[in-house]
Structure 1
Amino acid sequence: SRYILENQRLVNETILLDDIPSARFHDGGRIKFGPDGKLYITTGDATDLSSAQNLNSLAGKILRMNKDGSIPKDNPFQNYVYSYGHRNPQGLAWDNNQQLFSSEHGPTRNDEFNKIVMGKNYGWPQQCDQTGNFINPVRCFTEFTLAPGSLAFHKGDFFVTGLRGKQLRKLRLDLNKVQNEQVVLSDLGRIREVVSHKGDLYVGTSNRDGRGLPKVQDDKIIKLQIVN
């Protein structure tokens, strides 16, 4: 839906896209405008494994639309689908070359950091390092469960949040491979949001979502100054 912000209230709702499959889990939910002026939307498979490979379903996809809700003429399948074969994509971010990347929840571990290419298949319900006509992740978190909530590109690096992983990680790429990775924060509990804005990085916790152990001051937004 699109709203108008008026006196700190959202008014005049216009529904741009409806009937996206949903469930208790795996609902995606990220919306972000890209450098091309198009709106990108992540959707989960809504616990239906077959939907991610079905190009007639809006589930398990990254969708792309014009600001007015219409389908861009250069979309790959003459519908809203931009990429498919996703389980539960959460974060979206573009690098300095306007290349789209996404963070995605895996089933048990196997969370993914993906380079998103228009029209490509990311394989779900198959998982990391699959064989076939699929795009494998740039980074597959096989050694622990991160449960990435958000993704930001900031001063040349990607920052991905961890819900179950309870951390903020920095990924530095070279030729689309992770060359350096480090934990930036690990003492805030569940971290859902990360946003780059005017030279600073903002992080939002999610300890009161029913799965965390909230402290008295939770939840909070933290402002970071990243020094390379």
Structure 2
Amino acid sequence: MNEVRTERVGSAMLITIDRPAARNAVNAAVAAELSAALDELEASPELRVGVLTGAGGTFSAGMDLKAALQGESPEIAGRGFGGLTEAELTKPLIAAVEGFAMGGGFEMALGCDLIVAAEDAKFGLPEVKRGLIAAGGGVVRLPERIPHHIAMEILLTGEPIDGVRAGSLGLANRVVPAGETAAVALQLAEQIALNAPLALAAVKKVVRSADRWAAQRTEIARLMISADVREGMTAFAERRAPQWTGR
């Protein structure tokens, strides 16, 4: 039985964690299958953007504690929790969050480039309640995304916030009624996919670089000799939509 489903929707890949009975908690199988889905997204030139969501009205409850107690790991070497949180993807990834995004579930959402949240979604990092810390990126990324003291409150109390609060803090790009996150995320994916794939990859590379100015110089030099830049300029001059080739 597959734990992760994929569906091609135009130029986007909709990736769904499909363990609703376990609130889409991440075990070894989910991590392996999610990692494979991301590899497929990266390898396919027809796919421009990924959308990650969960089945049954829940994004993910995080690590499957029962599986962990039996020795299973929810991590993929070099790629982090769920095969996602430390993966260096070149293509944009959008989290469509319904219901619970707790622990590693929240960290997977933080590992995405954009977040669409349901109004009643619950984002939390309860690891301290279990003697742990949010080591899948939570303690690293959250203080970079929102004000320090708010991040520390979430990390130190382990208490969740809802989707509306996430939106007000700037954690979510869109906050929508429950049941609409995947559709809105796919709309965002369509907007993103209109743009040059090499440029999108360059944006991601510069943003995650330790020396962003140096990375920016390298990436712009590569882009300026690409066929896509010439196509973008030509299309503008000819008042037509560009036809990207990714070269």
TM-score (norm 1): 0.28
Indicate the structure with greater helix content: 2
TM-score (norm 2): 0.27
Identify the structure with bigger relative contact order (alpha carbons < 8 Å, sequence gap 6+): 2
